[in-house]
């Protein structure tokens, strides 16, 4: 996807207020694009104006916190923060059934246990065995929790980037937040190749699930399963990181 973000790949410490304003102006259309991209998958009660308002807050946060040394372009980083802000707004309505949250945690716990035991990526069959269920039942759970495909990366730890440890703005809390983002990048880079590709196509290229399925040669439902499993795997690895701090 063509991007104008290359000219804005500054280190966070070099971003003056004027440069932050330029980033916000340059990427404001990204907020609208993401809002409409998400709207079709959200409850009818969600208004696009609310998404865009939350997304602009996410964009402002991205312009303030962007750190090029982490290896991502501003557009990629801002897209994550914008989506996260929008989804945080949606989650205030708590529209997801409790079973979704419970099953998501259950899958993440199983993945974490398998990977800790084997020292490698957990395979689908191994996660299903850890959950003492058939592969078909495991895929059914992934399908039931498909709403988690609308996840915010920083929401993977539920309380955000270690914000529950220190209040935002405190020096030690900011250090933990930086470490979290570094751990997130490392966790994404360590994903199985197919799951990394799903993330790239979904968040960077903004393809929908059907289009991703065409690229991968699998069904739309399988892409949804991969995305949900990817979210669970990231959460499992980041929870392990969190426990170290």
Task: State pLDDT tens for residues 50-107.
Answer: 889 999 998 998 888 877 666 667 888 888 889 888 887 777 765 556 666 788 889 9
pLDDT value at residue 94: 53
Share of the chain above pLDDT 70, in %: 67
The highest-confidence range among 71-75, 115-119, 203-207, by mean pLDDT, is 115-119
DSSP 203-242: IIS---HHHHHHHHTS-HHHHHHHHHHHHHHHHHHHHHHH
pLDDT value at residue 230: 87
Residues spanned by CATH 1.10.1740.10 within the chain? Answer: 1-95
- How many whole angstroms separate alpha carbon 26 and alpha carbon 20? 10
| pTM tops 0.85, yes or no | no
Q: Is residue 120 pLDDT above 90, yes or no? A: yes
22 to 8, 16, 233: CA distances (angstroms): 9, 10, 36
Q: Supply the mean pLDDT for the chain.
A: 75
| Multiple choice CATH, 1-95, 3.30.420.130, 1.10.1740.10, 3.40.50.2300, 1.10.1040.10 | 1.10.1740.10
State the pLDDT confidence band at 9, using cuts at 50, 70 and 90.
very low
State the pLDDT confidence band at 204, using cuts at 50, 70 and 90.
confident
Residues spanned by CATH 1.20.140 within the chain? Answer: 96-245
Task: State pLDDT tens for residues 121-180.
Answer: 999 999 999 999 999 999 988 876 654 444 545 444 443 333 333 333 334 445 556 677
pLDDT value at residue 159: 36
Share of the chain residues as helix, strand and coil, in percent rounded to the nearest 5: 75, 0, 25
- Pick the closest to residue 63 from 23, 25, 33 (CA basis): 23
The CATH number given to 96-245 is 1.20.140
């Amino acid at each position: 996807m063509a991007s104008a973000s290359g000219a804005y790949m500054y280190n966070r410490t070099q971003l003056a207020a004027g440069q932050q304003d330029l980033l916000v102006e340059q990427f404001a259309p990204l907020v609208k694009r993401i809002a409409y991209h998400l709207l079709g998958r959200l409850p009818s009660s969600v208004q696009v104006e609310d998404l865009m308002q939350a997304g602009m807050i996410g964009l402002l946060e991205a312009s303030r916190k962007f750190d090029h040394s982490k290896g991502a372009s501003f557009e990629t980083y801002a897209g994550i923060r914008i989506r996260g802000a929008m989804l945080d707004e949606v989650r205030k309505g708590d529209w997801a059934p409790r079973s979704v949250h419970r099953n998501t945690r259950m899958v993440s716990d199983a993945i974490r246990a398998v990977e800790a035991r084997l020292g490698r990526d957990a395979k689908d069959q191994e996660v299903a065995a850890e959950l003492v269920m058939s592969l078909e039942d495991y895929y059914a759970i992934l399908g039931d929790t498909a709403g988690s495909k609308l996840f915010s990366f920083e929401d993977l730890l539920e309380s955000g980037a270690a914000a529950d440890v220190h209040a935002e703005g405190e020096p030690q809390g900011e250090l933990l937040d930086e470490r979290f983002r570094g751990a997130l990048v490392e966790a994404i880079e360590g994903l199985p190749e197919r799951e990394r590709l799903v993330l790239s196509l979904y968040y960077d290229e903004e393809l929908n699930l059907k289009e991703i399925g065409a690229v991968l040669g699998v069904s739309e439902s399988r892409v949804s399963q991969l995305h949900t499993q990817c979210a669970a795997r990231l959460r499992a690895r980041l929870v392990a990181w969190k426990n170290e701090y």
